[in-house]
Amino acid sequence: MPRKKASGETSRKNNPNVMGLRAAVVEEPITRTLETNYMPYAMSVIVSRAIPEIDGFKPSHRKLLYTMYKMGLLGGTRTKSANIVGQTMRLNPHGDAAIYDTMVRLSSGYGALLTPFVDSKGNFGKSYSRDMSCAAPRYTEARLTPICNELFRDIDADTVDFVDNYDNTMKEPTLLPTTFPNILVSANSGIAVGMASQFCGFNLKEVCDTAAAFLKRPDCDLSATLLAPDFPTGGELLWDADAIREIYETGRGSVRVRAKYRYVKAENLIEIYEIPYSTTSEAILDKVEKLIKAGKVREISDMRDETDLSGLKLAIDLKRGADPDKLMSRLFKSTPLEDSFACNFNVLINGAPKVLGVREILTEWAAWRTDSVRRRVAFVLQRREERLHLLRGLQKILLDIDRAVKIIRETGEESEVVPNLMIGFGIDKTQAEYVAEIKLRNLNREYLLKRTDEISGLEAETADLRATLDDPKRVKKIIADELKAAAKKYGEPRRTTILYQYAEAVDDTDTNAAEYAVHAFLSREGYFKKITPLSLRMGGEQKFKEGDALRQTFQTTSGAEILFFTDRCQVYKTRLSEFDDTKASVLGDYLPAKLGMDSGESVIYAVLPGDYSGFLLFFYENGKAARVPLSAYDTKSNRRRLTGAYSDKSPLVSMLYLTDEAEVAAYSTEPRCTLFHSSAIPQKATRSTQGVSVMTLKGKYALEKALLASETPITNPARYRAKALPSAGAILRPEDADEPQLSML
């Protein structure tokens, strides 16, 4: 059958606008689309955004620093960061947030660079913290650090090229004439399209010494002066000669860095005060927390971040008898406390990205720096020659000052003064203009003699400058002298210590964490024991203290976490691995003593939280019930005791742990009973909530207990089901209450 046309199809088909739209759609091969649309974007990202150039800066860094330089912030007072950001947008129109992020990374407060270029004041965040963010730019202040003198030295002496900014209203440098190889000193990373760049930092003094040695002898041993990467966050670098050689030769490879720590014996804790550059304190805390919760690390009682104005500090409280060195060896293996830094020395050379080794980088930098110095010398030479030319014209005037004055006085028109001087003394127009501009007060012999005395000095200086341009060795010496001066003035000791001999980190967490099935028993008097299935089968009847009886039993694994709730509204968190395996014939561990409870405090309920799913139901004497998610008891730190575990407004009579919704039976002392669904109790996030009323009580009566309906002997549940809460319930029939039930007492 022919298809029936939909309503309006004919009109759409004949619509001239639609016909024109279809005619405008042109098919073209995807290869052409990639070439004309995507490739220009990819090249723009590579060349103008993500990959650093030989001066060690990306365009965003260079635009920011040059703006600050033009604002007079090199040696001047600080100004608001918002002011700097606004001025930088004249060169970098990519939004204020991106510009401020660039400033933050270059700042001394953030600490991402060995040689920061921005002297910051205020909260700029920290590179070693994931969550410690910087303040808004209107609150912080900044200026350039003194080392920026090495970035902008002779920038106005034609040492680098200048180009128009994006709207052709001002000029900006294509590179900064750094007097030292900043490309190796400043850590830098970027992700372009199809490629990336990752530079580690090296110590400024080591880099300058290496560059000077390279200029003297290009085949020198780089590792003799450039020892290894240096990171602003410190730490300990694990020496690997092959890895260092690979980085120096190919520009690719990785190094391993460990955190630094000290053991405080008086407090039995470990203080970590330097961490690898590639991680954060939060990442370390999160990983250690996971190991603790999984039962793979048992020596730690608590771990916290104590970072303050004095610097980074992560504190680890140890349990009695724990070996700090063995623990740290295991943590090095299984946490970011030991991490790798991957190097990828991808740099733009004449607009093309290249992955270079250290020797190749120094070769390119030396060639570029040589050109900069030669341009500076040529610029100074030109200025000296221009000055010398003017003074030689003045020297001719000196021979007959009176004649010069006479020529000027007898000239009828101002425009004829310069031509008449040129004719009278045989000088060119430039020299005549200079003579004509001399003030009358300077037409004395002393002034003229002082000016002409400069001639001999300028002649010697220009000769020396020409000799410098013609002698590559002299240019190299200038570069080497500037390197040594920068190293002496701004050099600092290494922050990352090199460990030439070290023990490999040991990961024995898997061995320690080998878990097995166990049965756990909790008595009414607070005795707890853990028994393996084999021992349970071989043993006899469970032994309890006289007058004591079983409260709860569990089937779980030896490393499971367990929560013990007490009658003081507290909960104690521990693991079954803290308890020794025992037999049915012993009493077990007395929990108040084992867990260090308060005097007179006793356990009333235990929960195996697992992944902290499900919820707890608390029932109180006043007829109220509270529903609290078990996740409310999950903490990031390994705290052993939590206060405020439940409400203390009324005595607690029962607790129930449920993973799924179920029907619950509540009993009063009248005796009455009511059945209701657990979903009828609204969930509260606060542990100490009083809950809602589930049972109305008369006079002297109180709520006695609560059980799962499936665990009660009730034969006719319809009689007790509540239509709404709170409910008075129904009088309990004898056949529905034939055995004693568990209570909190």
Contact 184/247 with Cβ under 8 angstroms? no
Kindly list the distances between the CA atom of residue 303 and the CA atoms of 31, 234, 332, 628, 640, in Å, as whole numbers in the listed order: 56, 21, 15, 26, 12
Q: Is 447 a catalytic residue?
A: no
DSSP for 395-414, written as a single string:
HHHHTTHHHHHHHHHH-SSG
Burial of 20 (0-12, 13-18, 19+ CB in 10 A): exposed
The alpha helices in 303-416, defined as continuous H runs, are: 324-334, 358-398, 401-410
Number of helical H runs and strand E runs in the chain: 22, 33
Whole-angstrom distance, CA of residue 93 vs CA of residue 98: 10
Whole-angstrom distance, CA of residue 711 vs CA of residue 713: 7
- Provide the residue type at 479 as one letter: I
Scan for tokens 């084999």, then name that residue.
534
DSSP for 724-739, written as a single string:
SSSB--EEPPGGG--S
Which of 603, 595, 601 is CA-nearest to residue 575? 595
Whole-angstrom distance, CA of residue 352 vs CA of residue 51: 10
For residue 664, what is the DSSP state? E
Whole-angstrom distance, CA of residue 197 vs CA of residue 361: 14
The H-or-E segment that residue 184 falls in is: helix 182-185
Structure tokens at 3: 């298809």
Contact 251/360 with Cβ under 8 angstroms? yes
Whole-angstrom distance, CA of residue 425 vs CA of residue 275: 76
Longest dimension (CA), the chain: 141
Helix, strand and coil content of the chain, in percent to the nearest 5, comes to 40, 20, 40
Residues 6+ positions from 291 with CB-CB distance below 8 Å: 297, 331, 334, 335, 509
β-strands 236-238, 497-499: how paired? parallel
| Residues facing 86 on adjacent strands | none
Structure tokens at 514: 């080998």
Helix 204-216 and helix 358-398, axial crossing angle in degrees, nearest 10: 80
Q: Please pick, among 38, 41, 139, 166, the residue that the annotation labels catalytic.
A: 139
Catalytic residue IDs = 139
